[in-house]
Amino acid sequence: MESGFFEKISAEAGEDIFWHALLAMLDNDGRALNRDVFFEVIAKESGADRDELIAHMDAFYRGEFLRLQHVTRADKHVKRTVEVLKDKGYRLILATNPLFPPVATDTRVRWAGLKPEDFEYIPYYDNSHYCKPKAGYFQEILERTGLAAEECYIVGNDVRDDLSAVALGFEAFLVLDHVIGDIEKGPPCQKGNYSDLLRFAEKLPKII
């Protein structure tokens, strides 16, 4: 079992080793890919081979990770919102925090009833140099897609991580389902649950 490999590393190097690696990614200042920062910490603290770590991580997400699907739930409003926006010609980017490899993030997308192909760009830990809420995270996406902040809406449920984009010029829609953080501390923006988001999308004009 792949989890046994990582449990062995935790036992030998300390149970906080993966927490240290996660924090290093969140603190990444753009010096390296998030993936490289993550495995650099684990390899340094455990002495394990970096390529072996990556191989075991990939195997974990292709195997044991799949058992977690039963604790997830797809929301019909989210799927319909994506369909509406695509039909109207909007460019869709999945602005998730790039803490995971493609196999993990793409699996989570499918669990949500969507397809990775629904999105023009998805940040992964192996194509990103920053994490939310750093400005560099959003700037990197803008550079990759050729968009300006003023052309974009950020949609999410995290007051700090998602609404930090507003300072760069993004418009925002805060999803109140499972909201994270103090709403009162966030910048002014549109708010609502998943069904409100769908109604918002339905009112947007077509651009094609």
Which domain-ending residue is among 43, 68, 93?
68
Is the residue at 39 inside a domain? yes
Is the residue at 118 inside a domain? yes
Q: Which pLDDT value is given to residue 15?
A: 76
Range of the domain at 170: 73-203
Counted domains in the chain: 2
**Quick one: 89 and 57 in the same domain?**
no
Is the residue at 139 inside a domain? yes
**Quick one: 108 and 171 in the same domain?**
yes
Q: Closest Cα to residue 71, out of 108, 99, 97, 101? A: 108
Q: Closest Cα to residue 150, out of 168, 163, 123? A: 168
Which domain-ending residue is among 51, 68, 85?
68
**Quick one: 27 and 81 in the same domain?**
no
Q: Is the CB of residue 39 less than 8 Å from the CB of residue 50?
A: yes
Q: SS3 for 206?
A: coil
One digit per residue, the tens of pLDDT, for the chain of length 208 reads 355 777 777 777 677 999 999 999 999 999 999 999 999 999 999 888 889 999 998 999 999 999 999 999 999 999 999 999 999 999 999 999 999 999 999 999 999 999 999 999 999 999 999 999 999 999 999 999 999 999 999 999 999 999 999 999 999 999 999 999 999 999 999 999 999 999 999 999 999 7
Burial label for 127, CB within 10 Å (0-12, 13-18, 19+), is: middle
Which domain-ending residue is among 68, 96, 112?
68
Is the residue at 208 inside a domain? no
**Quick one: 19 and 118 in the same domain?**
no
Write the CATH number for 145: 3.40.50.1000
> Residue 153 has which token pair?
């809406």
**Quick one: 127 and 142 in the same domain?**
yes
Q: Which pLDDT value is given to residue 1?
A: 39
**Quick one: 32 and 124 in the same domain?**
no
**Quick one: 125 and 159 in the same domain?**
yes
**Quick one: 96 and 191 in the same domain?**
yes
**Quick one: 85 and 181 in the same domain?**
yes
Is the residue at 134 inside a domain? yes
